[in-house]
Amino acid sequence: MLVKYLGTAGIFVLAAAAQENRTVALNGGLQAQMLSLGRTTSGRPVITAAVKITNTGKDNVFLMFYGSISAVDEAGNKFDPPGDAVSGIGYCNTEPAERCIGKPNGSPFFPFQSYTVMDPGKSVTAHFRLVDLRGAQSAGKVSLSAQFAYRLVKETDMDKEADVPDAQKLRQIRTGNMSFEPLAVTEK
């Protein structure tokens, strides 16, 4: 907040600069940074987002997005993923979503070989494409949220990773949610 005193009249001017938080901390030592957020308004409105995911922890991360991925604008419009909504990172769109991570019975599940592996200090960029199926007039800032599953593996255990049974890997899966507060959108 900026506070400024103007002359002998004793007038104070208060100004708060609205800062958009384009970086959020995630579970598992991960960090997400919104690189770009755009909207097309011709035809059905489409939201596109590029999000840089960085492993800030000390362990290797096996990461996959799954299930509920959506965006909402200030006009109240909800944007949902088509089948190919996510690229650049592991993504499972099986229904029900819990089957992607082997819940409730462990089978079938998204193969561990298809998770994105992130070494400590490394980043990947995930691209999201979401559509307003109602075709309503989109307006204002947009918030984005997505579910993800991850598994942490110590650097010293990576050479043994191929020998770990899938049942043991399933027990190590954790989940989290990436959520950005409303951000300004680039109109296309």
Nearest to 67 by CA among 84, 32, 30, 92: 92
Q: How far apart are CA 160 and CA 149, in angstroms?
A: 21
Q: Is the peptide bond before 182 cis (omega within 30 degrees of 0)?
A: no
Which of the following CATH numbers is that of domain 20-157+165-187: 3.30.300, 2.60.40, 1.10.10, 3.90.1720? 2.60.40
Mean pLDDT of 33-51: 91
> What's the confidence (pLDDT) of residue 176?
93
Tell me the two tokens of residue 63.
Answer: 């990461």
> What's the confidence (pLDDT) of residue 44?
83
- Beta-sheet pairing, 91-92 with 60-73: parallel
In the chain, domain spans: 20-157+165-187
- Beta-sheet pairing, 174-183 with 142-153: antiparallel
Q: How far apart are CA 121 and CA 123, in angstroms?
A: 7
Going by pLDDT thresholds of 50, 70 and 90, the confidence category of residue 15 is: very low
Tell me: pLDDT of 17 over 50: no
What pTM did the predictor assign? 0.83
List C-alpha distances in Å: 40 to 92, 131, 181: 25, 10, 20
* Angle at alpha carbon of residue 9, lines to 8 and 15, rounded to 5°: 105
Q: How far apart are CA 120 and CA 110, in angstroms?
A: 23
Give residue-wise pLDDT tens across range 45-62: 899 999 999 999 999 999
